[in-house]
A and B are shown apart, each in its own frame.
Chain A
Amino acid sequence: GAGVSQSPSNKVTEKGKDVELRCDPISGHTALYWYRQSLGQGLEFLIYFQGNSAPDKSGLPSDRFSAERTGGSVSTLTIQRTQQEDSAVYLCASSVRRQHNEQFFGPGTRLTVL
């Protein structure tokens, strides 16, 4: 079956604009994660969705960041009034909620804020 997909693969925007990043997880995966990875850095956790539970938003860096997951499937990460420091690769991952919860990552969206 298909893996995790993300769109767009690249996004260039101007400072102050809003952007939306999309993630389509693997069908049947109830857990979905967003991470941010700056150049040469590790994975920075942003937000976690698990089924119908309230999302864990503890990693969102500011109130300019928000995310939704509709129907327990597709997720959208929105960044409002983008800043240059938001430039990074945004990775989405999904997993089956069980003890052995390996994550399957999408190819990421590379965001560049000019």
Chain B
Amino acid sequence: GQQVMQIPQYQHVQEGEDFTTYCNSSTTLSNIQWYKQRPGGHPVFLIQLVKSGEVKKQKRLTFQFGEAKKNSSLHITATQTTDVGTYFCAGPLSNDYKLSFGAGTTVTVRA
């Protein structure tokens, strides 16, 4: 069945450095969503991408949707301690509005 895969599972980053986390789907997605879950918290919606090749920025975060609408990436520049948490991507399963969540990338930051 359709699955959304994320890599890497863990990302240890030096404060100030950049990193990228990737999301891949076995099938074309109508849209891709990203969520952030802080330690001890619940997932919070960050952004949604709908168009092929779409790029959106939120301050130091850049989200991209692939041309084939099967992959997405989240790039964070100049990582800060506030970026700590788990980032999930999610896409709707075909013919339904139920979201399939990736396993998440857990980010830790070394000061």
Contacts and interface: CB of A to CB of B under 8 A. Distances in A.
A17 interface: no
A91 B42 contact: yes
A50 B97 contact: yes
A105 B104 contact: no
Interface string A34-52: 0100001111010010100
Contacts of A45: 98, 100-101
Interface residues of A, number: 26
B63 interface: no
Contact of B43 (A40, A43, A97): A43
B44 A102 contact: no
Given A42-B103, A99-B31, A100-B31, A48 B98 contact: yes
B99 interface: yes
Interface in A20-43: 31, 33, 35, 40-43
A107 interface: yes
B27 interface: no
Contacts of B43: 43, 91, 93, 103, 105
Nearest to A56: B98
Contacts of A106: 42
B105 to A, nearest CB: 10
B97 A31 contact: yes
A41 B86 CA distance: 10
Given A48-B98, A50-B97, A103 B31 contact: no
Interface string A70-114: 000000000000000000000101010111111111111000000
B42 A105 contact: yes
B98 A102 contact: no
Contacts of A102: 33, 45, 48
A96 B46 CA distance: 16
Interface of B: 30-31, 33, 35, 41-45, 48, 50, 88, 90, 92, 96-104, 106
15 contacts: A42-B88, A42-B101, A43-B88, A43-B104, A45-B98, A45-B100, A48-B98, A50-B97, A97-B97, A100-B50, A102-B48, A103-B90, A104-B45, A105-B44, A106-B42
